[in-house]
Chain A
Amino acid sequence: MAAHPGGLSTAAPAVRIGGLTRAYGERTVLDALDLEIAPGEFVALLGQSGSGKSTLLRALAGLDYEVAGTGSVEVPGKVSVVFQDSRLLPWGRVLDNVVLGLEGADAAARGRDALAEVGLAGRERAWPSELSGGEQQRVALARSLVRDPELLLADEPFGALDALTRIRMHALLRRLCDRHRPAVLLVTHDVDEAIVLADRVLVLDEGRVAAERTIDLESPRNSADPRFAEVRAHLLGALGVTGERDLD
């Protein structure tokens, strides 16, 4: 992949989070978290269940209405979200789902282009229920990208897909991000997925960033690469899943 130009870090960030604290009742989920994401940077967020990664993503998406908390969250004007489920309206055809809420005469044409980009040209008139899980998630990607997001938030977008489909989706997402260059925050529990896709991986633990790793492996990234294995061991360690310790 295109290496990250060093100049990006000096430009205004696409995301700026300062001292973000979120709590559900007594339980602090995010604890004075600071985070910046540069424009066009792909950040993956790893963490165990309950580490606060989904809470962080929902805070960025503006979906944490009734949650108590403090801190500042600044995001660009155009934010798209991809959920774990494709969340297509079952009563809308594929193209209608992609352009849902878009204004303008060229909306349909843009929707068609977006579908072609995710390899679904010709399926515009299909119902979501006629598509496979991977295809549905590609429609969801098209729905996000047709809005030209400056920030793409993805909450375990491939979590429900089978392993083979997931590998294909990784390549597709990487390609789309290289072309559209949104800042990306990908929440995942799959360490390999994070390493394959991201420029930078954060490990969240009990509401704080427990580890941070810039991934400078060249593309395409190969999990058989010893440096890949080293990064994986580092991140797994930060997640508390080193071989022996896990047995206690």
Chain B
Amino acid sequence: MDTQTTDAPAAVPPRTTPPRPVLRTVRARRRLGPGRRIRFGFLLGPLLLLTAWTLGSAAGLLDGRFLPAPWTILGTAGDLIASGRLQEHLLSSLRRAGLGLGLGIALGTVLALVSGLSRWGEAVVDGPVQIKRAIPALALMPLLILWLGIGEVMKVTTITLGVLVPIYIHTHNGLRGIDNRYAELAETLGLTHRTFVRRVVLPGALPGFLVGMRFAVTSAWLFLAVVEQINSTSGIGYMMELARTYGQTDVILVGLVIYGLLGLFSDGLVRYVQRRALAWRRTLED
């Protein structure tokens, strides 16, 4: 049924002798891709920078007023810890960031569920969140300061608003991205709406939510750093701002290192949760 053997024999080209190939031994080809992954390769760049910094400081090439030596910074950090000031500021920062993060996650998730589970909810909720997203969060600060003053409420609100957006966007995306075929399945199985939400919708949106979490954690630190430089009396940002007025570059650098470590640690934590919660996906990647 796929060949026509009876007619048009003239269309078949005349038989010729096949070309005689010259054989060669097969050798592995040169790879054009980047090749295999280097273990702990991600540490190399930072280590090179640190080495250059150390050597530069030791050789006296770097002016201590602009960039103090690494050991000076370690010493300053030691002093700050010994006096208890670093812990105090860190605790104060963590409380703000944690509160803002917690509220933002809760609010963002609830809004995403409302908007993801019903068309009416989407109609009401999605617009305002998208508008909020289009306005740079820092541009809202003058208004927030006028409304809420310069105290803790304003600080936590700013962080909450910054966290809410990525949580909402990614969770909502995850919800809408759930394959409609699963809804069809749930209908044929006669699932109740409650069971459908619990067994299909929430687990289906979890990967999106966790991506949102990674952005949210980053946002929390970003907004923390900003709000702490506005009329604070505590916090890592305040400590750095104070150091600026006194020209203490080493304290500023201690603050930067703390921010870096906080960001690194919290992102690692989210990734750990991600790996644990999405075990069903990891099996694909192994």
State whether these chains interact: yes
Q: Establish whether residues A87 and B204, one from each chain, have CB atoms under 8 Å apart when the complex forms.
A: no
Q: Does A23 contact B (CB under 8 A)?
A: no
Interface size class, chain B: 20 to 34
Number of interface residues of A (CB under 8 A): 25
- Residue A194 lies at the interface, judged by CB distance under 8 Å to chain B: no
Question: What chain B residues lie within 8 Å of A83 (beta carbons)?
Answer: 181, 185
**Which residues on the B side are within 8 Å of A177 (C-beta)?**
none
Minimum Cβ distance to chain A for residue B5 (Å): 11
Contact mask for chain A residues 147-175; partner B; CB cutoff 8 A; 1 contact, 0 none: 10000000000000000000000000000
Known: A101-B191, A129-B283, A129-B284. A87 touches B185 (CB 8 A): yes
Q: Of B181, B182, B184, B199, which one neighbours A101 at CB under 8 angstroms?
A: B199
Chain A positions 51-110 with a Cβ under 8 Å from a chain B Cβ: 61-63, 79-81, 83, 85, 87, 89-92, 100-101
Interfacial chain B residues near A230, Cβ < 8 Å: none
> Are B187 and A100 in contact (CB-based, < 8 A)?
no
Closest B residue by C-beta to A102? B189
B134 CB contacts on chain A under 8 angstroms: none
User: Which residues of B from 174 to 208 have beta carbons under 8 Å from A?
Assistant: 181-182, 184-192, 195, 199-200, 203-204, 206
Complex: A173 Cα to B189 Cα, angstroms: 20
With a 10 A CB-CB cut-off, give which of A61, A100, A129 has the most chain B CB atoms. Answer: A100
Cβ of A91 and Cβ of B204 under 8 Å apart?
Answer: yes
The answer for the CA separation of A85 and B184 in the assembled complex, in Å, is 12
Q: Is the interface of B mostly helix, strand, loop or mixed?
A: helix
* Given A81-B188, A87-B185, A101-B189, CB of A127 within 8 Å of CB of B283: yes
**A116-129, CB under 8 A of B: which get 1 and which 0?**
00000000000111
**Within the complex, what minimum Cβ distance (angstroms) separates A64 from chain B?**
11
Closest residue of A by beta carbon distance from B278: A91
A83 to B: closest C-beta gap in Å: 7
Q: In the complex, which residues of chain B have a beta carbon less than 8 angstroms from the beta carbon of A129?
A: 280-281, 283-284
Q: How many A-B residue pairs have CB under 8 A?
A: 59
B4 within 8 A of A: yes
Q: Is the CB of B181 within 8 A of A85?
A: yes
Residues of B with C-beta under 8 A to A91: 203-204, 206, 278, 280
Provided the pairs A91-B203, A91-B280, A100-B191 are in contact, do residues A247 and B185 lie with their beta carbons within 8 angstroms?
Answer: no
- Are B280's CB and A127's CB within 8 A? yes
* Across-interface contacts of A101 in B (CB, < 8 A): 186, 189-192, 195, 199
Please, what's the 1-or-0 string for B248-285, where 1 marks a CB less than 8 Å from any CB in chain A? 00000000000000000000000000000011110110
Instruction: Judge if B1 is at the interface, Cβ distance under 8 Å.
Output: yes
B279 to chain A: which residues have CB within 8 Å? 127
Q: How far is the CA of A130 from the CA of B1 in the complex (A)?
A: 40
CB neighbours of B182 from chain A (8 A): 87, 89
A218 CB within 8 Å of chain B: no
In the assembly, what is the distance between CA of A92 and CA of B204, in Å?
A: 10
Chain B residues with Cβ below 8 Å from A85 are 181
Q: Residue of A at shortest CB range from B199?
A: A100
Chain A residue at smallest Cβ distance from B189: A101
Contact of B283 among A87, A130, A247 (CB under 8 A): A130
- Interface mask (B201-234 → A, CB under 8 Å = 1, otherwise 0): 0011010000000000000000000000000000
In the A-B complex, the 3 residue pairs with the closest CB atoms: A91-B203, A81-B188, A101-B191
In the complex, besides A83-B181, A89-B200, A243-B1, 8 extra interface pairs with C-beta distance below 8 angstroms are: A90-B281, A92-B280, A100-B199, A101-B189, A129-B281, A129-B283, A147-B189, A247-B1
> Could you show 10 A-B contacts with beta carbons less than 8 Å apart?
A63-B184, A63-B188, A87-B182, A90-B280, A92-B199, A101-B186, A128-B280, A129-B284, A130-B283, A241-B1
- Chain B residues with CB under 8 Å of chain A are 1, 4, 181-182, 184-192, 195, 199-200, 203-204, 206, 278-281, 283-284
| Interface residues, chain A, with chain B CB atoms under 8 Å away | 61-63, 79-81, 83, 85, 87, 89-92, 100-101, 127-130, 143, 147, 241, 243, 246-247
